[in-house]
Each structure stands twice: as C-alpha cells, then as structure tokens.
Chain A
C-alpha cells in the first residue's frame, strides 16, 4: 500500500500549521489569506537604461531595466517590433540561487512575464516599426531578482510594465528610406494596457495570495494568473508540482481578479499612467 502526499517531516508540520492558520483567516506575517503584501514602485532609477523600475513586495525585490535597439524584424512578423524578456535569479537574492546561466526557474519567470506582456498586447508593437520588414525597434526587458521572499512573479510583471510605461526611448525618423536619429529628442513606448499577474498558493482546499518563501516551501501547489484587463485573463502557469483540484479553479480566478485590480490601481498611481498619453 502506498501513502498519498508524503512530505518530509519538518515540512509536514509547517504545512499543517499554516493550513490551520488559514482556517482561522490568518497567516504567519499577519496577513489574511487573500491579502497581498504592499507594493512599492520606484521608476527611472537607472539613468543609463531607457527605462527602469524597482519593485518591492515585502521581502521580495525586483529590478527591471529596458533597453531599446534597432534591429530587423522576425520574418513572420515584418510589421512588428521585437520584444525579448530575460530574467535572472541573482545569487544575492537567496542561498538557493546559484551563479551561472539561467536555470529552469529563471527561464520560466522570463517566459511568464513575456507571456503576460505579449499576450495582453500591452505594447503597441506595430507603432515601433520604422521601415516595415527592415528596421524595427528591439525591446529588451531584463529582470533581476535582488531579494527573494517568495513570489517573484507579481513584482516582476509590475516592474517590467512600470519600466516600459515610464521608458524614454530615442526618437528616429525616416528620411528618403534611411533611418536617422533625432538628436536630443525622446519618445515613449506606446502602451495599450497594463497587465499584472497574481501568484496564488494552495493549501489543501484553501487559497492564499502572494505567498512568502516559507509558505512556498510548504504549499501544495501554486498558480499564476496574468490579467490583461479587469475581465480578461492573458496568461496562466501552474508553476509547482501538486494537484490542483477542479473545484478550486473558479475561486482562484475570482480571488486573483480582485487582487489584480488592486495591483493595477497601485501601478497606475505610482507611474501616473494615463491612457490619453498613448492613444
């Protein structure tokens, strides 16, 4: 006979204790299950980058930088600018992160952030085409996890979007089919909407929002839901092993929607974003 859900002993105690707390609507750091940590956003702190943002949520700190270059478009999208997202889990951030090329966690983070931004069509990539089929903008979004206390997904998406929305990029004009830099003038990256992601943790049949590192070490499974707008899901990733019961999915969507609205409100406040800026 096999035993279901075996966990190493210390983790089992922690798991049971956290679950007990959640049943009483409490968590170790005093939050309620559906409460996220306060989000702090600083933008444009790196002058050399075209755009940058540092976001902290509790003990998790993320810095995101934007660099924009000129390059040729991909053959299958001649009328779109390119965008690539890269992420690194710096060894500064946790003793479990090691130097070296990005591991599967870092690649997953990069691809989830990429998906949130790309699939929600947050950037108007058509507007950054200078000469169709030949010269387009190439947007590099680089994300570094500086400090890790659980949930590096939500602040990474917020940091990337905040950096994009506040970036000032060089202005180019096309004269006689030749691309020329307009000295001293800058333009913005056209942003259509502000995607955010919400990381949810599951303890048996209970959901928590924005898990900390301790909670992440004990939870049964977790899920990231990216929202392009209030009513539209743009990305989902189940990012840890474990069973995700069917019955809990609808609740997860409902909870994450509320949190996403809160995140987006905070984001808009801190970057003073207005839709009119970029019609």
Chain B
C-alpha cells in the first residue's frame, strides 16, 4: 500500500498520490482505483488522508466561513452579495427571526458568515452575525493565503494587530477590511498583508512583516524630526 509522495512535496495536477482510495483528501480525486492530485500544491498528511494545499486557487464557500462581501443588488426579500470569484451570496432581508436590523444599500460592505451553501445557492447570516463595515480599507488576496494571514493559533493576525493598532475583519473569500486610526496605519497593514500573500513560503516571515510595518510607520516621523 505505498504512497507515492512525501509530506511537503510539491505536486502537479494528475500526479499519482496513493493506491489507497481511503486516503483521498482535499483537492484530490479517485480514478481507476488510485488517488491523484487535482491541483498544484504541497502534500499534507492529516487525519490519515492525503490532502493537497493548493498554491493558488478560487474560493469555494463552506458553511461557517466568515466572509466579507459587497451588496450588488436588492430584491424584494433578498440582498445579493458579491463575494468575489464566482460566488454570489444571499441575505434574506426578512427572515423568521425578524428583519435585518439595519437597511443595506448597493455598494455597502458587509461582514457575515455562510449559513448554507449548496444547490440552492449561498445563504449568509442575516441576524446578529451580520455587520456593516462603514469605514476602513478593503484589500483582496488569494483565498488560499488566508490561513497564512491568520497564522498558527492566530499568531500572524495578532502580530498585525499589535504592530499596526488596526482592527481586522478577515473574510475567507480573500477580502480583508482594515480599520485603523488613520490612513497611514491602514496602509502599513495593507502592505504587510501583500507581503504575506507574496512571501508566505519564505522563512522568517514574521520578522519581515514587523520590519516592513515599522519602516512605513516610523520613516516619515524620522524625516520630520
């Protein structure tokens, strides 16, 4: 029962992973009784399965995902929310639990969670979990990089919060809202997020992120002095 790959190996679509069908994990498929990779990414063995962590890829909604979206259309009892990529989420404006506590307009940015996703569409939380984002900076990165942005046990995100003194709303769909005390702090945070997206695979990321933020935040101050 051999596996053809080792942990952290880079694989490409169509590469054989294992002879054991049971081991088919995320981003793999079974063909002719064997397990193959469907994407380019790295191998990760978890819960006895072979999973591929894609290097890049589209957002695929899952229930309980926190997301950030933009209202694109208002129907009689429904708001349509663009989640980027191909996904259109729906917020019921009148649900059994009562109507949404505030009015939404086209172009509004909302932070909420996915309640259901399936053949009927993607339905989003419309009750207390729905939050309208009134100000701040919106940045978009590839959704597969979101786990890196959050980091192990939320390490990276706490680092960002600590260094930039900004508030973050992180959507699994790749959108991130940054609310800081001024635009300079928000810009520093956005630059740091871009750095994480581009260099997440190179070691010593945390140090470089702190260095970048400090450079942006304090360089101007030094010049003034």
Give residues in A with beta carbon < 8 Å to B: 1-4
Contacts and interface: CB of A to CB of B under 8 A. Distances in A.
Contacts of B24: 1
B11 to A, nearest CB: 14
Interface string B178-205: 0000000000000000000000000000
B25 interface: yes
Interface stretch (B27-35, B157-165, B168-176): B27-35
Given A2-B38, A3-B29, A4-B31, 12 more contacts: A1-B24, A1-B25, A1-B26, A1-B27, A1-B28, A1-B29, A1-B30, A2-B27, A2-B28, A2-B29, A4-B29, A4-B30
Interface in B18-46: 24-31, 38
A240 B181 CA distance: 58
A1 B36 CA distance: 10
Nearest to B29: A2
Contacts of A3: 29
A139 B29 CA distance: 52
A20 to B, nearest CB: 21
Closest 6 CB pairs of A and B: A2-B29, A1-B24, A2-B38, A4-B31, A4-B29, A1-B28
A103 B38 CA distance: 33
12 contacts: A1-B24, A1-B25, A1-B27, A1-B28, A1-B29, A1-B30, A2-B27, A2-B29, A2-B38, A3-B29, A4-B29, A4-B30
Nearest to A2: B29
A1 B37 CA distance: 9
Contacts of B31: 4
Nearest to B39: A2
Contacts of A4: 29-31
B169 to A, nearest CB: 31
A1 B39 CA distance: 11
Contacts of B28: 1-2
Interface string B43-74: 00000000000000000000000000000000
A240 B26 CA distance: 29
A10 B24 CA distance: 28
Nearest to B35: A1
Contacts of B26: 1
Contacts of A1: 24-30
Nearest to A5: B31
